[in-house]
Structure 1
Amino acid sequence: MQKSVRDYRRGIATKIIGWKVGITMRRQIRASAVIGMTCLSLLVGCTTKDGTSAPEGIGQPVAEKPPQPVTITIHSAGVAEAEFNTRFKDALAKKLPHVTIQWLPTSGAGNTIQDYVARGEIPDIIRNIASTVHDNYLNLGLSYDLRELVKKYKYDLDRFNPLFIDSFVSMTAQNGELYGLPVSPFFSRVLYYNKDLFDKFGQPYLKDGMTWDEVYEAARKMSRVEDGVNYRGFSAFLSTFIAYNEYSLSTLDPAKDQLSGIDTWKKMFDNYIRFYQIPNNPIAANITEEQNIFKKGTVAMHADIYSPYLDLSMLKNWDMVSIPVMNGAPKKIGIFQPGYLLITKQGKHKEEAFQVIMEMLSDEVQMKDARNGFLPTVANKEMTNVLGQDSAILKSKNMKAVGYYELAAPRPSRQKGMTVVDTRTADKLLENAFIDAALGKDDVNTVLRKADDLLRQEVEKAKSKTK
């Protein structure tokens, strides 16, 4: 009986030990499986129970290779390297540290884009203005369509003011090509005035939204001679009458070989010439003198471009208001188009060049530009609301004047197949005509007819070059 009991107890103990061993083994198996599955799923440097590591390289994340250093050359006529450094250098160095920018000289003998192309030293990026893009880019065989890169980088063209994209495509494309993206600066129009002279003659300050008739009356009251000094009521940068007109009227007709819209030009000429017929307000001898006379402190009002480059520091107390409007004319501000950043088809680093352009036109860079007085090319009201706020001079001025009216569309270019005449050449003919009329050499109708004849001759000259 005792033996049976001992045998029974021994059997129970054996079973219990077996159960424990079985449980322990199952737990070890499950643990090993978990370890194995964990190593397999993570594919990283897992260690097995015995301390051995997974084979080297298996499951290790593949490190991206750092971008290779490249040098991007830029030819930017009209913009000094110092300005480029101030506006863009830090942002490019931060976002694209592998890119070195080589700024090519653009002034002096041998440094035009034609010179570089002739030497086979074609830059990666060219900055050009719309009026010369044919001569300085398209006609040199440099054109490269950006649409492929825009698509690859999913670049949002809608962020720009559509005036700048649409007008440039219309001017340059044959089949919808996009050759460039707009970069500040561009220039609109305002009316500056010398507060000290208004105080001296007891006249109320100007205000936004005035008409040219109201400004004419103010100019008439301010034009006088006192103590041997001729105080003029009004002066102007005459080129703005032509190139920045609110009608968006081209000098050369887009579809015909003649002066565009003669009746409209007559209306504009009549509006401005009357200011120079006011006693004691004669027009200066030439365009340059007329443009700069306001800075001497003897002119009450001056119609000119709004530009962060314009230096009026010699005047103690000046401000500006919106450009006046003519009766029946569009209530818009005529503009001179921005520059455009273009990539050359010969460039070896097109993607890096496009990355540079994207950074130069980023919101961060354009916001900094705007705060320093540069009008942005993107349609972002936040930027225009802070225009000039970081400028010691502009922050105290009436900056609302700059955007008081909508921007007028850029002047249309010649239609496809029509002979192109350099815009500056065509505009100069009208400027000379205006001066002749303002000086009383001929009436407005006569000077416009002469300008039309000279413009037709320019078209014939351009045609003869292509034969």
Structure 2
Amino acid sequence: MLSRTINASLLSILLLLPALSGCSSDKPAVTKEETADLSKVGNEPVALIFKSDFPDDQDVFNRYYGDRIKAKFPNVTINFLPRIQGQGIQDLLNAGTYPDVMYGKLNGIDALLIDTDLAYDMSELDKKYNYDIDRFKPQLIDAVKNTNPEGKLFGLPMPDFDPQVLYYNKALFDRFGVPYPKDGMTWDELFDLAKRMTRSDGGKVYRGFSSQQGVIMRDNQLGIPYLYPHGDKMFNDEDWKKQFENLARFYQIANNNRDTKNRSAGIESDTFNKGDVAMQVNQLTKFRNFPDGLDWDMATIPTFKEKPNTMNQASSAYCFITKTSKNKDVAFKVITYLLSDEVQADYAANLAGIPSLKASDKAVKTFGQNVPQLKGKHVEASYKYDLAPAPPQRDKGLIRPDPNKIGNAINNAFLKVVIDGVDINTALRQAGEDIGKAIDEKRK
């Protein structure tokens, strides 16, 4: 009897040792007996509802996700719900349709998950299956955890199809005998080059620079958030002033101002396609819309002197499992497969998606190699630099206004500066008031 008691005690101590040795780690240790086996999950027929927060259709969904899921999990049936009129998330919930998996960007997480009370902390499944979230880039994990004051893991990061780069028109640089832009340029150096490339020739005006200012502001390299982390108000005016001053000066170059009759971000973004703009800072996906005759290449996004080798904040999409899903384990298995090393390498080679993985050297070596539009292009420019830090976490109890209204307040303020000639301080003051109204509206 005594021998059994001693053996049992020793066994208890031995089982406890791994947990004690793991105390210094951020991730709680899980013993073999406590760890569930994800490979045994979902071998029976099951149906999952996937809801997109993007304007993709069934064909696009199948090309990116559906065909892969069907091949890997023949027992899993996927019902895909696109983002179309009448199928918004609230429409679905009102009709009693509850998605298992949703995917979209973090600027839509409030309407999609938080306001609908569908948000689910996926760290529960991470611990259950001892899944290593440290394999992802830390900025991507910080970004999703910082969407809520408790730091819950509401989603896992998908490959990034939207890193920002500097596109340039090789034909215009050749025409005017100016060397091409290079990796590692600062915004100041780019400004000098934009002045040099803005000119009138043969009765035609050529602009030196244009941009998609909305994404430059939202995913800015300085890590400036829209909202103050410790109060319900716009973040520091002085920091935003620096961001405005940096970009606005390009539009104040003679002959380089944007269309003063149209405030659409899309109109300005499309100017590079026409062949009379020398350079543009935009997201990588923009190349898919370039006309065949456009002679272009890319360099790294220009950087700030105080933030060398730093690109934009993460613009990845995320996969979310809903709190109401009855098939969370199967959904987790499917998602982790889509985010596996081999699948992300396939995204990189065939779809030009930057892996969300911390260690992705193998994948980026084949980045874009099977994408016809990227043949011979300097694709390294899209992943050469490290991501800017994620926006900070806000305190518990603060109001979460509609992020689209907040972003519009900033963008409208910038347009007032570059189109209407309003001084930056006045424009930012108005932005602060508009953000305050959005906060009050959400509070009510």
1:185 aligns with 2:165: no
Contact 1:245 1:334 (C-alpha < 8 Å) held by counterparts: yes
1:134 aligns with 2:113: no
User: For the residues of structure 1 that align with 2:441 and 2:191, how far apart are their CA atoms?
Assistant: 40
Of the three residues 72, 78, 86, the one matched with 2:63 is 86
Larger-Rg structure: 1
1:268 aligns with 2:243: yes
- CA distance 1:217–1:187, change in 2 (3 Å): same
User: For the residues of structure 2 that align with 1:173 and 1:69, how far apart are their CA atoms?
Assistant: 38
User: For the residues of structure 1 that align with 2:182 and 2:375, how far apart are their CA atoms?
Assistant: 18
Contact 1:74 1:102 (C-alpha < 8 Å) held by counterparts: yes
1:247 aligns with 2:222: yes
1:103 aligns with 2:83: no
Contact 1:208 1:404 (C-alpha < 8 Å) held by counterparts: no
Provide Cα deviations, 1:333-375, integer angstroms capped at 9, x if missing partner.
1134322212222222222111111211111211110113111
Identity %: 36
Structure 2 counterparts to residues 277-288 of structure 1, below 5 A: 277-284=252-259, 285-286=262-263, 287-288=265-266
Greater mean deviation of Cα atoms: 267-276 or 176-185: 176-185
User: For the residues of structure 1 that align with 2:81 and 2:437, how far apart are their CA atoms?
Assistant: 36
Structure 2 counterparts to residues 228-377 of structure 1, below 5 A: 228-284=203-259, 285-286=262-263, 287-307=265-285, 310-329=288-307, 331-372=309-350, 373-377=352-356
- Counterpart in 1 of 2:99? 123
Provide Cα deviations, 1:107-136, integer angstroms capped at 9, x if missing partner.
12x101111111111011111321221221
- CA distance 1:462–1:425, change in 2 (3 Å): same
Contact 1:190 1:402 (C-alpha < 8 Å) held by counterparts: yes
Amino acid at match of 2:215: T
- Counterpart in 2 of 1:27? none
C-alpha displacement of 1:137:
1.0
Structure 2 counterparts to residues 56-71 of structure 1, below 5 A: 67-71=43-47
User: For the residues of structure 2 that align with 1:359 and 1:147, how far apart are their CA atoms?
Assistant: 17
What TM-score comes out, normalization by structure 2 length?
Answer: 0.85
- CA distance 1:65–1:231, change in 2 (3 Å): closer
SS, match of residue 340 in structure 1: strand
User: For the residues of structure 2 that align with 1:332 and 1:92, how far apart are their CA atoms?
Assistant: 35
User: For the residues of structure 1 that align with 2:423 and 2:394, how far apart are their CA atoms?
Assistant: 29
Contact 1:295 1:315 (C-alpha < 8 Å) held by counterparts: no
Contact 1:75 1:126 (C-alpha < 8 Å) held by counterparts: yes
User: For the residues of structure 2 that align with 1:355 and 1:241, how far apart are their CA atoms?
Assistant: 35
Provide Cα deviations, 1:179-201, integer angstroms capped at 9, x if missing partner.
21111235221110000000111
Greater mean deviation of Cα atoms: 328-337 or 153-162: 328-337
**Which residues of structure 2 form unaligned runs of 5+?**
1-39
C-alpha displacement of 1:309:
6.6
C-alpha displacement of 1:223:
1.2
- Counterpart in 2 of 1:457? 437
Contact 2:184 2:309 (C-alpha < 8 Å) held by counterparts: no
User: For the residues of structure 2 that align with 1:196 and 1:429, how far apart are their CA atoms?
Assistant: 37
Contact 1:187 1:307 (C-alpha < 8 Å) held by counterparts: yes
Contact 2:401 2:438 (C-alpha < 8 Å) held by counterparts: yes
- CA distance 1:232–1:162, change in 2 (3 Å): same
SS, match of residue 225 in structure 2: coil
**Which residues of structure 1 form unaligned runs of 5+?**
1-63
SS, match of residue 413 in structure 2: helix
Of the three residues 137, 140, 158, the one matched with 1:164 is 140
C-alpha displacement of 1:413:
4.4
C-alpha displacement of 1:66:
9.5
Structure 2 counterparts to residues 13-32 of structure 1, below 5 A: none
Contact 1:337 1:410 (C-alpha < 8 Å) held by counterparts: no
User: For the residues of structure 2 that align with 1:153 and 1:68, how far apart are their CA atoms?
Assistant: 19
C-alpha displacement of 1:302:
0.6
SS, match of residue 115 in structure 2: helix
Amino acid at match of 1:384: V
C-alpha displacement of 1:319:
0.4
Moved over 6 A (4+): none
- Counterpart in 2 of 1:421? 401
User: For the residues of structure 1 that align with 2:48 and 2:92, how far apart are their CA atoms?
Assistant: 15
Greater mean deviation of Cα atoms: 114-123 or 146-155: 146-155
Of the three residues 112, 123, 127, the one matched with 1:147 is 123
Of the three residues 159, 175, 181, the one matched with 1:206 is 181
